[in-house]
Amino acid sequence: MGEDKNIDHLVFVVHGIGPFADIRLDSFRSLIDCVDDFREVSLLLLRSHDVSGRGAGGQGRVEFLPVQWHSALHGDDTGVDKQVKSISLPSISKLRDFTNSTLIDILFYTSPLYLQTIIDQVSSEMNRMYALFKERNPSFTGSVGVMGHSLGSCILFDLLYHQKVDGGVSMGVVKDPVPQSLPVTESTDSLEKQEEKEKEEGEDAPAVSDILNQLGLPQLIEKFESEMIDFNTFIMCNNEDLKEIGVPLGGRKKITSYIDEWNKKKEQEQERKVKEAEERLREEELKKSLAADGACVGGVTESVTYVKGTAGTGQPLVNYPLLNFNPSSLFAVGSPIGLFLTLRGVESLGPEYQLPTCSSVYNIFHPYDPVAYRLEPLLVSQAPLKAALLPHHKGRKRFHLELYENIEKVGQSVKYHLVEGIRNMWHQLNELARAHTNNAAMTTNSDETESIPGDVSSQGSVDEESVHIPIGCISGGDRVDHVLQEKPIETINEYMFALSSHLCYWRSEDTALFILKQLYKNNNNNAAAAVGEFTKS
């Protein structure tokens, strides 16, 4: 199929786990093959739909470029495959090989060491391809978008969250953020200075007289002063020492008990400080190691460290490179971003949440995709119950969905007329009762019997698809969650089509047309701010 040389928009596509992006009956398909399919589908839709509004002959095409990171992670440079193979059991070797090359990528993404490898590969590859694209297309003025499938969407989301604007000032989370990143200063206190600081900030030792008053032994104050016993000497006294200076048995029990408890607390405090010092040392070593690995391709980088949990674990220390362009949109297909945020302890992002350099986020998923999760409930408390239904590429709903919708409307209509019939009959009975009662009783009965138990509103349910519901700032108030229309055959057994639904996006006309419409829409709204200028590192 011939391709138009005029390129309106550019989209980088990042794959999910494993070396293959799709599975067919006869073979495994790489990301390059899948992106070729998606590019072909988009070309057909551009020729059959006036997406740009400039007419069939006035629009160019959208270039989709694959971004691969799996080979960099599992290559010889990291040595991870060799290490994993050495610890794998020899049984069920085929299944273990599949697990080690695919599912284990999810664990690698939670590892500080291998997450850095993934982030570096994705960012450097996109920057390299963008520079090459600009060199070959110097007149390009369209927008640049990014599309992530499965885990690839999480990689892009985290990378875009750590981008900088306005001279390096982050415009990330404003309210109810993701566990916030803390800046790592270039000059940090040494462990020795930190320990001295802790000693200076420590509480002063209590007076011996105060301790004796606390223990109910004020009569011993004069005896301890005559023996010149200060606090440091006091905590070293044992039962024999106290007996030697004439302290009665009851007093000795109280004092030795206090000294034992104080020493125990002191030991616990020392252990806590040692653990904190060791943790600081590990962080310092990790920062030096990351700095020694070399500068990132994108120019200026930011070192961040994450808040640790009560068990001493948390999100890793990662350098997030800057991209040489500002994406106009993030298209997350079959995405577990919502799940990853929840596992990080995020209860709510808040309506003001937005990505610094990316103005729009679209979460696209098939209703049966077992890997996909919603985002809108994390953005607004009153999120719609259903995701926005993605339009069919032929301009209407699938027949079975329209049939279900019409049946539901018929049921609501029958219910409404039934309730109205009961309401009218109830009203006529009230009128008949009023004719046989006095005015006072009539008024009372009228107030008590005007409403019907179990009454249903005559307005019926509101169709969420026909009402605009603002969803925060992340996409300018537009809907974020978009669900595909399942095919009629898929409704037979949703479990049977669960795996294929996670891989259906590469040949989905509905997905491709939606992405094309959003790219041209965003570019028409604000073409100047869609793309950042390329800067040499």
Active site residues: 150
Q: Which stretch of DSSP H or E encloses residue 134?
A: helix 112-136
Report how far residue 461's alpha carbon sits from residue 54's, in angstroms, rounded to the nearest whole number.
39
| Tokens read off for 406 | 């019409």
CA quadruple 127, 129, 130, 134: dihedral positive or negative? positive
Q: Which stretch of DSSP H or E encloses residue 140?
A: none
- CA 452 to chain centroid: 47
Report how far residue 521's alpha carbon sits from residue 537's, in angstroms, rounded to the nearest whole number.
32
Report how far residue 372's alpha carbon sits from residue 385's, in angstroms, rounded to the nearest whole number.
16
Backbone φ, ψ for residue 330 (5° rounding): -115, 120
8 A C-beta contact, residue 36 and residue 90:
no
Give the angle 321-325-327 at the CA atoms, nearest 5°: 100
Report how far residue 109's alpha carbon sits from residue 154's, in angstroms, rounded to the nearest whole number.
10
Q: Per DSSP, what are the bridge partners of residue 389? A: 483
* Single-letter amino acid code for the residue at 105: D
Q: Which of 134, 111, 18, 143 is nearest to 68 (CA)?
A: 18
- H, E, C per residue of 343-387: HCCCCCCCCCCCCCCCCEEEEEECCCCCCCCCCHHHHCCCCCCCC
Residues contacting 165, CB < 8 A, separation 6+: 171, 326, 356, 357
8 A C-beta contact, residue 139 and residue 54:
no
Report how far residue 354's alpha carbon sits from residue 177's, in angstroms, rounded to the nearest whole number.
10
Residues contacting 187, CB < 8 A, separation 6+: none
Beta strands (DSSP E) in 435-494 are 481-483
Entry field: residues in the chain: 537
In a 13 Å sphere around the CA of 489, the CA atoms on its Cβ side amount to 4
Q: What share of the chain is helix, strand, coil (3-state, %, to 5)?
A: 45, 10, 40
